[in-house]
Amino acid sequence: WMLEIGRRVASGEPATLPEWNDFSVYLLRGVKAFVVGLVYALPIIILGLCPFTLSLIGGGGQDANALAGIASMISLLISCVIFVYVIFLAFVQPVALMRFTMHGDDIKAGLAFGEVFRTVQEHLGTYLMVVLGTLIASLIAGAGTIACGIGLLFTVPYAQAIVGHLYGQAYVEATGGTPLGGTVPPPAAPAAPTDWTG
């Protein structure tokens, strides 16, 4: 649903919220978008498993304290790397998901790493605003817990609508409304003056 909002904004369609009558379409799009996001998140998943693996290797014995110290240092280093990658991912995800959406829900378009990274690099300021806007939307979504969790039924969709709109706006800013990596159609030829005879 959020990506449909982004698609409508990027396509210049009227600013109306999508209906829920295409739930199966949204579900399929969501599963495919999850696959795209999962591929980009693989480094976090792999790095996150490292401390667990180190704790299994540690075992007992007289070297256990030394191994525990080394494992703690490695875990701290991994946590720093994950933190930096999460920030990187916050910039990359809007581009990847909008490429996916604007290319007919094509997973390969979302995983065109070179195009995605180049778009972020060339429009860093635009995607910084998206990251900040997404952070604010997350705070809005969390505000629903104040009303014993019932408010989440309203604040989470509202926050997702904000994020979808931000994704769509950033897409237009980065591409002029064309599919990322696509070509911009040539401008129309100017009309001839009415008194022109030649």
Give the model's pLDDT for residue 17: 78
Q: Could you give the CA distance from residue 150 to residue 80 in angstroms, rounded to a whole number?
A: 35
Split at pLDDT 50, 70, 90, the class of 184 is: very low
User: Comparing 109-123, 146-160, 175-189, which segment has the lowest mean pLDDT?
Assistant: 175-189
Please state the separation of Cα 26 from the chain's center in Å. Answer: 16
Q: Is the pLDDT of residue 193 over 60?
A: no
CB under 8 Å to 109, separation ≥6 — which residues?
A: 99, 100, 102, 103, 179, 180, 181
Task: Give the pair of three-digit tokens for residue 69.
Answer: 């110290």
Split at pLDDT 50, 70, 90, the class of 11 is: confident
CB under 8 Å to 15, separation ≥6 — which residues?
A: 8, 9
Task: Give the pair of three-digit tokens for residue 186.
Answer: 């040539």
Task: Give the pair of three-digit tokens for residue 171.
Answer: 């897409």
Task: Give the pair of three-digit tokens for residue 160.
Answer: 């997702």
Task: Decide: 33 and 110 in contact? Cβ < 8 Å.
Answer: yes
DSSP 8-state secondary structure symbol assigned to residue 187: P
pTM confidence score = 0.75
